[in-house]
Every structure is written in C-alpha cells, then in structure tokens.
Amino acid sequence: MVGELLLRLYDSYSLILGVTSYFRVSQSYRETWLTRGYVLVVNVLTLSLLPLAFWLSAQYVRTIGWFPNLLTYTTYILFTVSYVTIVYTLITRSCRDTALLKVHGIVQRLKRAPDFVVEHSVDGTLDNLYNLKLGSVLIICLFGMSTCLVIPNEKRFSVMLCAFFYLNAMNIPLIAVHRYFLALWDIAFCYQSLNKELSQLLDSLIKESPSRLQLEQLQHLWMLHSLLGRCTLRLNKIYELLMLAARFENLAFFAINGYWGILFSSNVNSPFYVILYGAMNYYVHVMDYYLLNFMFDQTIRYQSAIQHSLSEVPWSRELNAFVLYACTSKLSLWVCGLYKANRRSWFQMQISIITFSILLLQFHLVHNKKYTL
C-alpha cells in the first residue's frame, strides 16, 4: 500500500516536471490532450528559463563567500553539463514514452499468457532493489524541493524561487532514467517467473519422457524468453544516449560536488547543517546511481540463468535447440558501444571521480598559491 502511494507520488512528480505526458490509471498509462499540452508548455518554459536560472545561480555562488577562494569555473562546468543533459532528455521525451508503452504492453501481455504464473513471489533481491531505488529517487526529489529553504542567511524570495526552479529541473534526467529502471525491473521480474516455470517443467521431464504438450510448453516459454530479450535490447537502444548523457552529468556532479564538499568542511565559517545536508544529498545520489547499475546486472543474471537440471533430462531435439539458444543469447547491455552498463563500470566511474576531484583540489591550491586547505 505504501509502495503504491510512493509510486503515485513519483508518477505525479514526473508529470509536473514534464518528463512524461502519461499518467498511471490502475495497471495502464493514459495520455490526454490536457496533459500533452501542459507538458509541452512546461518543456518550453524549462528550456527557455533554465539558462537564466543557472546564470543567476552561478553569479550568486560567486558573491556569497561560502567557499574559500572558490574556483568559479567549476560552477559553470556543472551547470553546462546539466543543461545539455536536460535539453536532450526533454527533446527525446516522446520517443522514450513510445518505447516504454511498448515494453509495458509486452510485459502485460506476457503476464496474461497461459504459461505465466503471476502469483510467483518477487525475489528478495528484486524487491529490496525496487524499494531502495524508489526511496532514493524520492529523497533526491525532496532535496531538490527543499534545498532553497536551507540557504544560510538568505531570505530573498527571488533567490529562493530561482534555487527551487533550477534544483527541480536538475532532477529531470534522474526521473527519466528511473523510468528506464522500472522497465528493467518489470523485465527482470518476468525473467524470474519464466525461469521458475521452466525449472518446474524440466523437473517434471526428469521422471518421464517429454510429451507433446510439454514440448509445446517448452517452445512457448522459449518464445516468451526470446521476446523479452528483444524488448530489452530495443529499450537499451532507445535509452543509450540518455544513459551516456546521464553518466557525464553524474561524473561532473560527483567530482565537482565532492570538491565543493572538501572546501566546505575545511572552512570553519561553513554552517554545520549545510555540510550535513550536502553530504546526505551527495551520498544518496551515489547510492541511486549504484542501484541503477545493480539493476543492469540483475536483469542480465535472470536472463542468462543456467538450468542445471538440463543435464538430467532425457535428451531430445527440442531440448538440444533450447540449449543452443540459452548458450548463444546472453544479453550484453552496452551504452553507445563505449562501455557496459553494470556495477563494474560504476566502480570505474568512482575511480575517475576521485581522480578529477584531486585534480580540482590541486588547481585550487596552485591557483591560490596556497598548499593547505
């Protein structure tokens, strides 16, 4: 019940930001002329006003004196990367909505298939992954809406409104990527259920030779498994450029905010609650991006689950064909052919972030002719 309420809040926030023009009704998604027109207006206003908001925010950061000898160009780098990512996210919105609707239709059709047992319980890892990811996204969105209220010694409504606008706008790529996560989660759940059905079928074949009905059931499960694989690859093709843009944005966000955090913590005049608030926001972002890459690994794991009981089943031509399919259809989700989306790439990214943060600190110290923070 709580999870469904949180999901509705997420869907409503996505619609308000203009990430999608569809809203959830029961187990389906709908679009009306009102939501379509609203999202179009919001997208145009966001793309038009966001450069001004970023510019004013950068000028404000230069004048408040929070940072000791701040290298101001890091602010412009972060805002530029974020704006380019937001632009791409919004102008490709309709393509992603179409792809997600097709995935949703395939998943619902698969769940209505005679061989599919919806009553299968969700694997504990998948359930925890879903709850943690949804919780991290909602917390980040809450940070985006409330950060304007914790600006030290600032009561001007114009500054707070500008901060509220650009911080919520920076959540747009996060919301869009989370919709990809939800689609992958549905696909992984379907893979899990198909694997259970297949395991039960193979267990029954150990005791006796396969009947025609059982072979037809094996072929049908094989077809559903293959359909999910094609669906996953198509979805990855639609989202790969967004994933690449989001990776660059996360790299800039983590490196620059890590650099800012070190300067904050080393400055005795920095308010403690601002340091704590920023650290919480930073580490929730880190966990959120890690969970996304963990979801890629889980999807591939369920898709390529090894059926150990195959060796004990009486051999047949149909089983031989299935084994060949299982051994040659391993998913490999690449992002624009540059890197694989998995936890290993996440750890590689963390190494890059540490390297860039050290470089920024070195430039900071050399630029100010000062070798201690």
pLDDT at 220: 76
Tell me the pLDDT tens digit for each residue of 98-132.
888 888 877 777 766 655 555 555 677 788 888 88
Tell me the pLDDT tens digit for each residue of 210-238.
677 777 777 777 777 788 888 888 888 88
pLDDT at 371: 44
pLDDT at 101: 83
Q: Is the pLDDT confidence value at 16 over 70?
A: yes
Token duo for residue 134: 């949804």
Whole-number average pLDDT of the chain: 78
Question: Distance (Å, rounded) from C-alpha 325 to C-alpha 62?
Answer: 60
Lowest mean pLDDT among 8-12, 185-189, 210-214, 228-232: 210-214
pLDDT at 207: 62
Token duo for residue 8: 């509705």
What band does 188 get if pLDDT is binned at 50, 70 and 90? confident
Tell me the pLDDT tens digit for each residue of 329-357.
777 888 888 888 888 888 888 888 888 77
Tell me the pLDDT tens digit for each residue of 51-74.
888 887 777 777 765 555 555 677
pLDDT at 310: 58
Rounded mean pLDDT, 283-312: 80
Token duo for residue 156: 């001007």
- Which residue type, as a one-letter code, is found at position 359? L
pLDDT at 306: 59
Token duo for residue 78: 């972060």
Nearest to 172 by CA among 213, 212, 140: 140
- Which residue type, as a one-letter code, is found at position 240? E
What band does 151 get if pLDDT is binned at 50, 70 and 90? low
Nearest to 341 by CA among 171, 133, 226, 180: 180
What band does 270 get if pLDDT is binned at 50, 70 and 90? low
Query: In this predicted model, which residue has the larger pLDDT, 272 or 299?
Result: 299
